[in-house]
Structure 1
């Protein structure tokens, strides 16, 4: 049975079915002779160990049990196939760009951060264009050299008085294929480094500002730079509002969590089918339409 549960080529969905069909009944049968409390503890520990085997995660990966449970427990009433042609599940829903829900999730977090920055900064702008290049060369090959380059938010006076701060947001799924072999800390670091390679050098030397990548997971986790950003934001807001910094931080984390939860539900439940073609009203015969659809009979 371990050959199935630990096989990386078998999907988590198939492993879950094998576990429910063969493994779970055997474990429950073996725990029947034990005291109830002890049996429940044994079952919980065994189940979590099995779930970690199925996901290929060990304690060295520093992944919390709640995250493992959310990955393996299926979501009910989901379609079998996505509009993009791929098998649909919760992990695919978080990364599928069909329907634009990934962009909606990104824009919602962007607007939320911009709104909070407006409380303490001035000249807050969303999607600001960077200054065009004039023959500058950068040491990093992955630096963004487009004259139409933009970041998500800019604000003046956040880190240093008078200096313009630039922020770019990325929300990633930690259970995506490209992140499954990495610990959560390493995944955050890699995404932050990609953003820094794209914008940091250009913003520092051309726009003379400071760049900060804001990296989040789909479940609300934050990278080190995002934690530093929110700590600074909570500190300044608490001074301005004359309220405890811990309360301000808790409020901001709650707002961010609700925003990501709403976006996750939209990714799961929103329709990705092609939009219906609009009906032209020019030349429509309203009387014939009413008769054909029998609307007049339904209204009587």
Structure 2
């Protein structure tokens, strides 16, 4: 039965355009469908009807009715009804909103871990990066949070949300061919931006990257496993926060 399923899946993939292949591979990632069966027990697991409907349509590759009613981006760019531009535009609010949701979720998760402290958006200058060896703009870079873990390790983490779609044919082909390649590409961007500086000041850098369809990057999975292991060893309490806000 499983072999038959795989054959049917490959036939279905072969019939899709590149953007459809990229979407399907992204949607098949670890945990990407968990929100469909989540029990609405807190703000982190509740979602409005409009957001739920939009998320379902994006997942299925269907047009978004809200975009038909408002077809122009806030900066005047025409919006495609499939939501490709809306999921990549940094000025329209959606990408920033997703980023803030994920950042707050990790912040609350770590706050719920015993013997762990978290600092939001510290600059490297505040963390001791020397002006003699680094440019001013590097000292002002702000990863999303610093966390002192119960293990004694200090982690600097930066969250990113990336869309597995591109107008560049080569990039789109890569997204369509290899699952998770959009997240891996963004992890490389983050590591190039922060990794060397973090090493210089003695901290470990963790890129926390998600694709817009929910697929987590490898750094997210490793970090969550680490936090769960630490929590199991300490008897951590529940995750705090999120009681009053809707989540994706």
Normalised by the length of structure 1, the TM-score is: 0.55
Question: Which residue of 1 is the match for residue 49 of structure 2?
Answer: none
For the residue of structure 2 that corresponds to 1:52, the secondary structure is coil
1:84 pairs with 2:75: yes
Whole-Å separation in 2 of the counterparts to 1:188 and 1:53: 20
Matches within 5 A, 1:6-155: 48=12, 52-53=16-17, 55=19, 57=21, 63=25, 70=59, 72-78=61-67, 79-88=70-79, 89=81, 90-120=83-113, 121-130=115-124, 131-136=128-133, 146-155=138-147
Whole-Å separation in 2 of the counterparts to 1:54 and 1:193: 23
Contact between 1:48 and 1:65, CA under 8 Å: does it hold in 2?
A: no
Query: CA shift at 1:64, angstroms?
Result: 6.2
Q: 1:66 to 1:211 in 2, by over 3 A?
A: closer
Large movers: runs of 4+ above 6 Å: 44-47, 64-69
Q: 1:180 to 1:135 in 2, by over 3 A?
A: same
Whole-Å separation in 1 of the counterparts to 2:112 and 2:27: 37
Whole-Å separation in 2 of the counterparts to 1:135 and 1:49: 54
| Long gaps (5+) in structure 2 | 30-56
Q: 1:48 to 1:134 in 2, by over 3 A?
A: same
Q: 1:69 to 1:75 in 2, by over 3 A?
A: closer
Q: Deviations over 1:169-216 (max 9, x none)?
A: 1111112435522233322222111111111111111x2111111111
Q: How many residues align?
A: 198
Query: CA shift at 1:65, angstroms?
Result: 7.5
Q: 1:49 to 1:224 in 2, by over 3 A?
A: closer
1:184 pairs with 2:176: no
1:238 pairs with 2:228: no
For the residue of structure 2 that corresponds to 1:93, the secondary structure is coil
1:173 pairs with 2:163: yes
Whole-Å separation in 2 of the counterparts to 1:208 and 1:146: 16
1:226 to 205, 215, 220: 220
Normalised by the length of structure 2, the TM-score is: 0.65
Q: Deviations over 1:24-53 (max 9, x none)?
A: xxxxxxxxxxxxxxxxx9xx9899357513
Whole-Å separation in 1 of the counterparts to 2:27 and 2:208: 25
Query: CA shift at 1:87, angstroms?
Result: 2.3
For the residue of structure 2 that corresponds to 1:70, the secondary structure is helix
- Please say which structure displays the higher CA radius of gyration: 1
Question: Which residue of 2 is the match for residue 38 of structure 1?
Answer: none
For the residue of structure 1 that corresponds to 2:232, the secondary structure is helix
Q: 1:69 to 1:132 in 2, by over 3 A?
A: closer
Query: CA shift at 1:69, angstroms?
Result: 8.0
Contact between 1:132 and 1:148, CA under 8 Å: does it hold in 2?
A: no
For the residue of structure 1 that corresponds to 2:173, the secondary structure is coil
Contact between 2:26 and 2:214, CA under 8 Å: does it hold in 1?
A: no
Whole-Å separation in 1 of the counterparts to 2:202 and 2:28: 42
| Long gaps (5+) in structure 1 | 1-40, 138-142, 262-300
Specify which structure has the higher proportion of helix.
Answer: 1
Contact between 1:133 and 1:145, CA under 8 Å: does it hold in 2?
A: no
1:156 pairs with 2:124: no
